[in-house]
Structure 1
Amino acid sequence: MRKSIFIAFGAGILLVSYFSWDGIFGSKVDYNAEVKPILNKHCIGCHGGVKKAGDVSFLFEEDMLQPGKSGKPAVVRGNAHASEMIRRIETSDPDDRMPKNAEPLAQEDVDILKRWIDQGATWERHWAYKKVDRPELPSLRNLSNLFGLLDLNTSSWPQNAIDYFVLDRLRKEGLSPSEKADKATLIRRVSLDLTGLPPTPQQVADFVADDSDDAYERLVDGLLAAPSFGERWAAMWMDLARYADTKGYEKDGPRNIWRYRDYVVKAFNADKPFDTFTIEQLAGDLLPAESANLPSRENLVATGFHRNTMNNDEGGTVDEEFRVAAQIDRVNTTWEVWTGTTFACVQCHSHPYDPISHEEYYKYMAFFNNTRDEDVPTESPALRIYPSDDSLRVQEVLSWIEGHDAGVKKEFAEFLYVMEPKVNSHDFDSLVNATMIDGKYLGLKQSSSARLKRVTLTGKTSLMLSVSTGAEGPTLQVRTGAVDGPVRAQVRLTKPCRDSVLILPMSPQDGKHDLYFTMTSPKTPDRWVQIKWVSFQQPLPGAQEPGYEQVLRQYVSLVAKRVEEMPILWDGKGDLARKTHVFERGNWLVKGPEVQPGVPGLFPDLPAEAPKNRLGMAQWLVSRNHPLTARVIVNRFWEQIFGYGIVETVEDFGSQGSPPTHQQLLDWLAVSFMEDDGWSVKTLLKRIVLSATYQQSSQTNQEQLEKDPYNYWLSRGPRVRLSAEQVRDQALAISGLLSKKMYGPSVMPPQPDGIWQSPYSGERWLLSEGEDRYRRALYTYWKRTSPYPSMTTFDAPSREFCQSRRIRTNTPLQALVTLNDPVYMEASERLATLMNQKGKTPREQLKEGYQLLTFQPIEEQSLKVLEKVYHQALTAYRKNPAEVDSILVYGATKTPELAALSVSANVMLNLDTVVTKE
């Protein structure tokens, strides 16, 4: 008896110790889990990044220990009684009590703070800022269930490592996994997840009939290899890249940047390692040269990621203000996309909740501050894409240069392909009788002048400039030192011109000098001469050789030629390099101390071998020691698959973000993504969709609704409404309308009349012809001030700024779209035609339509509802045959029966089971 009691007592101790040994004997306070939330909620508002009331701050460890205005430290480690913080919390004096003008802290919170201080006030980094290490897989031994004696028959459930972590959590929550989804549901789910498109009926039939053990894995491999895979995941990335075909702000003029979108599609399809994908987008222009002494075209196009920032072309705006706005957007977007950090607030003050200082924001902005874009209407710098004949001419010019002075080839190649370095006209100052035409370009006329300050002229004996004028015979002179200083270059414009490029010889002069551009135009004194840009260059080599003048003319004509251009990133050097200053309180007009490029001290420093520029910064982001990037990116893909991220706030991994539901799983996936997968997105996604977790049925029961209502613990499969793009693409795909055409400029498919407004440019929505009407939603022309309406109705953003996740809504407008939008009306008519071909009776036709949409048999009750819809419509159209033309507008067949079937098909396209991924 005594032995039995002893054994039972021992077993009880073991069980209790498994759950909470510290709960019996007293536990060490967890700073991140217990203390930090109290400080953030009650203290940081007055004693943190925004304010430092009484010279007390709890944002940084060293600040917490320093004496405040009272002369006493807020926290004395090991002695809560001596800590001013505790005295202020517990005092009854209303003038001293903290929190100020707020409810007193709960006694439980006070006890936690006192115990924490008495235990030494250990300061910890937030979990997300710690280096990510690979955790061990949880054991399948069910310790929480009497050492497995009452195991729930789940030990054979895991298919891969993901399932071990999920099962471990389910057991702790008193839950068990759901059964596996049926094969028809599974193929529709995984097809929509990996390609954004539903499977074909034949694919479903083949998969359902395939009983081989590797049938599902082979299906997944096929989907990963499909061209549509890249299009599906590029659609997700477009929100992060804030991709649009227009510049934004009020004018919102067109922008030619579709090649960047194509780069993203190709990158996903090629399974470009994500670290390479990152570096190319953030610093492709700084990668080693491949041809013509430039980085590859692919690398330059990739930098379009950060040329998706908005431009303000409205007259009267200050270019520098909106250049700075673009730089700030790049900083904030980079931190949100790759590190899930709310960095934007640090623009004005230190982070209110996480230890990142105000100055560190501008150190980081220094990485971007030298990019040459300056909010000019031309959107330079841009990659010039020459047609084939002109490409040959470019190579002829570069071959001439290489043959006469190979050392200067890079400079001329950069100007031919990027037209940098050049000085934009807004850099002129000291305007006399001159102006900035439309607030954009320098205008000179009779007896006018303008200055360029401190131009380095050493080795620069050619001046190239872009000129437009209707004046008769004006003469432009360039002088050094003063308006009446020595003339270094001059030209007489003999005829009217527009955007003509001239190259003028300059007399040699070393050092930095102020240059004055003066104009005389006696014949037409009131006519303006417009200058867009100027460039100081070395002379084209080989001046004494036969054929030189022809090569020089060819060089100038190539620069002047209007060719396709795509905005890219490009760094300024020499005179065009900028200093970076802290903006006091975030005001770009109030500059504080100068800072050098750097990363916040909270994180590991740049790799030793990394340059201190955007390239080094990009390499830092994807270094193995970076605590956030892999976690954040893995979480993004998880959120796309399951509807919720392991960290629900995918945009905020900081101390105010949601805690991870499965932190060890997140860390395991992050380490595997970096170390095992080589940053392969396809490998990551394959691992996720092959897991038993993913393959669960999405059907729920009462226990799951009570214990796991939002499926945070993954007790069932994902059930998520399709994205805006997927809802549209699915309707086109099922009806047989969807085009497989990939790449190229954006298209303008049908949309309701009167939607598109372009008050400045006079642009119109020109309906695309042929198969371009039916291309995937990814390729739809995206105007920021008037996005495609069915997209925004289904929660797509305007893309003025980066958006990490779309908040899913369910509004009546969504039903109005799927019931009335011209795209869905045409899809309904085509689907009705297919249903008519597959079934002899209306009942059979409706059953076939539902099967085409969901790959499931329709329930009798739902079928009766659809039959009622069909017969009501049929009766109406038979009474009013003229109304048939209003519903059947795309095909040749016009019968009341087909019209009624089209109405029914339209209703089915709007069903919850159709617009939802089960």
Structure 2
Amino acid sequence: MNFKLIFAFASFWACVALIFQSCNQTPSGQPAEEKLPELVSYNFDIRPILSDKCLACHGPDANKREAGLRLDVAESAFKALQENPKAHALVAGKPELSQAYIRIATEDTSLKMPPPASNLKLSQREVDLIEKWIKQGAKYEKHWAFVAPKKPALPEVDDEKWPRNEIDRFILQKQEQKGLKPNEEADKERLLKRLSLDLTGLPPTLKMMDDFLADNSADAYKKMVDQLLQNPAYGEKMAIHWLDLARYADSHGYQDDGYRTQWPWRDWVIHAFNKNMHYNDFVTWQIAGDLLPNSTKEQLLATGFNRNHKITEEGGVIPEEYRTMYVTDRNDLFGKGLLGVTLECAHCHDHKYDPFSQKEYYQMFAFFNNVKEVGIESVIGGPETYAKKPLMEISNDDVKNILTFVNKPDTNRLIVSVMGDLDTTRKTYILKRGVYDALGDEVQPGTPSSILPFDSKYPKNRLGLSKWLFDKKNPLTARVYVNILWQEFFGKGIVKTSGDFGMQGELPSHPALLDWLAVDFMEHNWDIKRLVTQMVTSATYRQSAIVTKEKLGVDPDNILLARGPRYRIHAEYIKDLVLASSGLLNKTIGGPSVKPYQPAGLWEGATSGRGLLSVYNQDHGASLYRRGMYTLIKRTVPPPTMSIFDASNRDLCEVKRLKTNTPLQALVMMNDPAVLEASRVLATKLLQEKSDSKEKLSKAFRLIVCRTPNEKELEVLTSYYNQQLKIIKPQTAEKMIAVGEYPMIKNLDKKTLASLMRVISTIYNLEETITKS
């Protein structure tokens, strides 16, 4: 393998991609011109300009504000200027009298704003937008995300034949405005791979492929969607994004980083998705299951959601400092994961950009501050440290009669950290500068008024907070989860910054669609499977991922969705694809996390030397072949292969994973024992079948890439296989096949096995294999 050549090609194409992405030009090379909107919106047209070019000096930060002028607040923008009381920054309807417009439009460098020295400059279109906005009255608007969504009318489109459901009308309208047309539907093989990966995290089986290709009925695709939604693997796939959000891990974190048994909560999440628990109940049980009337053990287990945060077991810490950190973690998760706002920025001071005061932060904090917990508990090492109080014990009788979805493999004590409040109310104070012992004014439970004031009819506890969260007037809850699911199926959210719907977040690419989906989601009782079905049955989702030069020029980032999604699948699904295609996959659902192959010495080099996780003791047998989501996550040393493919280490709430492309990922696919073992096992199975080499290679290709190879591809693979048969020496073959613990089949020619194994390994290394297209 010529690594220099690989890196050269990678660098070249990376540069090409950057050039295309940075030059938003039409195919002719001329910049695309965009007309001014008929009605200029402050939220969608003006505030982004101010935010990028003006608010650093004329925004909410009083310490950096120049000339006493604040342009993000109407009251300040319209009042007389501090330096010239006879003038005003804005005069509604009169740009010629508005000093803000005069200063940005002038060519006089001594007057021009932003100052030339700032290296900031407004484009002519931006200047024209501000002029038109002022002419139309310079109306300020409440931030779009803090206004409750209303269901807009479905857009009119020119091509009435293309839309399959309401989603498509919103998408097509934007495309037609830009002169684009959607792609044709993807071919059935690629479409099935996309759908199967999205709904189960697994590649389709050969039988699924054959059945789908043979089904020419009008509802063949819908039948496949329904089949996959009923597959138990659906719950496992859907759980991944929630485990990231809930920062689930198998260790406590911090220096000692001891083992914890929180996995029964993960079993519950899988179960909840599979039985299609509606989102309002799904979240309410996790926030306040212990406070529900006559709460059950299942509802109590669900509250493990709020106990997944890091917990210290180190001696010498200040208990109240760490207890405060635990409450802070829960509060920040609620803000980012469920409300999609950067609430944590108000931990030490009023939020600099969003309308959240520090007092409001600690009013939210108060909802989570009454948990019956301490900052440090017990000593590392014994079974009592696997969970921290408050906790629940799950008995064998519970698993048999109540918590039947919990996969408890032995008779040992099984305990899980859950929520439980004190009998009396713990007082909550504003913490000056966020310091745990710098107490300010006392506060009562409450919510940011800019989002939705807390209704007095709700109890001032976590159950009341959940009722507030799912109040139909709450502008964020439905939008945020709809956006997270859209991100799961289309690669990026309608709001790209899925954890920040605030002033500094990205504007939605399709605001009307986001609002329509959010209201529709609420109108249909927060039904998750229904929402998933809407997305994956849309014509938008079913498009081919082929990109033309025209579309790349007009829309390089595919914001307008005029082609299908194309991106590398998550780390867990890469492992799942390898195991499933080779026949190694252990389909057991739930249960304790496992320790598969891992380079030696990683844990030992980063440990305090205490506890069950101080040494990596690899599992064996069927445990090696469990799905990626069950890989044990030690926070201080997360699984290296998954980290290389951008998996979360679960330190904090994450609602969006990075997508990187590095040489290390290629090295993993070429050298990981799990991939090589899968290649050997699949090669062994194929050699036991009565078929010729081309048939074996074609079947391997179908199992791994999920489509039939064309003649040219099959010719290349066959040529490579024949070449390997000639050049691989017996001693080399012996070393090649001696990988992994899965038993060898006797009486197979080792040279033939090694040759076929190498070709299969090459197929696993194709970009298309681990790409959703």
Residue in structure 1 matching 2:391, options 363, 383, 397: 383
Tell me the residue number matched to 1:352: 352
- Give the SS at the match of 1:849: helix
Distance 2:740 2:590 in 1: 31
Tell me the residue number matched to 2:685: 834
Match status 1:136 vs 2:135: no
Match status 1:900 vs 2:755: yes
Distance 2:492 2:693 in 1: 40
Distance 1:348 1:843 in 2: 66
Aligned-CA RMSD value: 3.1
Tell me the residue number matched to 2:772: 917
Residue in structure 2 matching 1:785, options 636, 645, 648: 636
Distance 2:130 2:542 in 1: 45
Tell me the residue number matched to 2:5: none
Cα contact 1:724–1:791 (8 A) shared by 2? yes
Superposed displacement of residue 756, structure 1: 2.7
Tell me the residue number matched to 2:24: none
Tell me the residue number matched to 1:693: 540
Residue in structure 2 matching 1:602, options 450, 453, 459: 450
Q: Summarize deviations over 1:367-417 as a string: whole Å, max 9, x none.
A: 21222223223554232316468999xxxxxxxxxxxxxxxxxxxxxxxxx
Cα contact 2:301–2:418 (8 A) shared by 1? yes
Match status 1:278 vs 2:283: yes
Residue in structure 1 matching 2:172, options 130, 152, 167: 167
Superposed displacement of residue 224, structure 1: 0.7
Distance 2:544 2:513 in 1: 21
Tell me the residue number matched to 2:249: 244
Match status 1:301 vs 2:152: no
Distance 2:690 2:701 in 1: 12
Query: Which residue identity lines up with residue 192 of structure 1 in the other structure?
Result: L
Q: Summarize deviations over 1:157-178 as a string: whole Å, max 9, x none.
A: 2211111112212211211122
Tell me the residue number matched to 1:440: none
Tell me the residue number matched to 2:573: 726
Distance 2:683 2:637 in 1: 32
Cα pair distance change 1:59/1:307, threshold 3 Å: farther
Superposed displacement of residue 93, structure 1: 11
Cα contact 1:59–1:354 (8 A) shared by 2? no
Superposed displacement of residue 663, structure 1: 1.6
Distance 1:733 1:303 in 2: 33
Distance 1:389 1:123 in 2: 61
Distance 2:460 2:276 in 1: 28
Cα pair distance change 1:286/1:45, threshold 3 Å: farther
Distance 1:173 1:344 in 2: 38
Tell me the residue number matched to 1:287: 292
Query: Which residue identity lines up with residue 622 of structure 1 in the other structure?
Result: F
Alignment of 1:37-436 (within 5 A): 37-52=48-63, 53=65, 57-58=70-71, 60-62=73-75, 78=92, 102=118, 106=122, 116=133, 120-140=137-157, 142=158, 154-289=159-294, 295-378=295-378, 380-385=388-393, 387=395
Distance 1:279 1:654 in 2: 24
Tell me the residue number matched to 1:490: none
- The unaligned stretches of length 5 or more in structure 2 are 1-32, 379-386, 401-411
- Give the SS at the match of 2:55: coil
Superposed displacement of residue 82, structure 1: 7.8
Query: Which residue identity lines up with residue 753 of structure 2 in the other structure?
Result: L
Cα contact 1:56–1:74 (8 A) shared by 2? no
Alignment of 1:704-715 (within 5 A): 704-715=551-562
Tell me the residue number matched to 2:650: 799
Query: Which residue identity lines up with residue 886 of structure 1 in the other structure?
Result: A
- Give the SS at the match of 1:203: helix
Residue in structure 2 matching 1:863, options 706, 714, 718: 714
- Give the SS at the match of 1:661: coil
Query: Which residue identity lines up with residue 565 of structure 1 in the other structure?
Result: I
Q: Summarize deviations over 1:741-770 as a string: whole Å, max 9, x none.
A: 112211222223333334332533333343
Q: Summarize deviations over 1:861-903 as a string: whole Å, max 9, x none.
A: 4334434543444344335354355358631335110011112
Highest CA radius of gyration, 1 or 2? Answer: 1
Query: Which residue identity lines up with residue 594 of structure 2 in the other structure?
Result: V
Superposed displacement of residue 279, structure 1: 1.0
Query: Which residue identity lines up with residue 654 of structure 1 in the other structure?
Result: G
Distance 2:560 2:35 in 1: 25
Superposed displacement of residue 65, structure 1: 6.0
Query: Which residue identity lines up with residue 307 of structure 1 in the other structure?
Result: R
Tell me the residue number matched to 1:814: 665
Superposed displacement of residue 590, structure 1: 2.8
Residue in structure 2 matching 1:637, options 472, 479, 485: 485
Query: Which residue identity lines up with residue 573 of structure 1 in the other structure?
Result: D
- Give the SS at the match of 2:415: strand
Tell me the residue number matched to 2:19: none
Distance 1:272 1:380 in 2: 28
Tell me the residue number matched to 1:654: 502
Q: Which structure shows the higher strand fraction?
A: 1
Query: Which residue identity lines up with residue 917 of structure 1 in the other structure?
Result: K
- Give the SS at the match of 2:728: helix
Distance 2:123 2:661 in 1: 42
Distance 2:109 2:737 in 1: 81
- The unaligned stretches of length 5 or more in structure 1 are 1-18, 143-153, 290-294, 393-561
Q: Percent identity?
A: 40
Cα pair distance change 1:850/1:324, threshold 3 Å: same
Cα contact 1:583–1:589 (8 A) shared by 2? yes
Tell me the residue number matched to 1:6: none
Cα contact 2:250–2:263 (8 A) shared by 1? yes
Query: Which residue identity lines up with residue 564 of structure 1 in the other structure?
Result: L
- TM-score, length basis structure 2: 0.85
Distance 1:565 1:68 in 2: 64
Distance 1:364 1:249 in 2: 26
Superposed displacement of residue 710, structure 1: 2.4
Aligned residues: 708
Q: Summarize deviations over 1:304-347 as a string: whole Å, max 9, x none.
A: 11211111222222222222222222222111112221222222
Superposed displacement of residue 709, structure 1: 2.4
Distance 1:160 1:374 in 2: 52
Superposed displacement of residue 103, structure 1: 5.1
Cα pair distance change 1:329/1:83, threshold 3 Å: farther
- Give the SS at the match of 1:594: strand
- Give the SS at the match of 1:45: helix
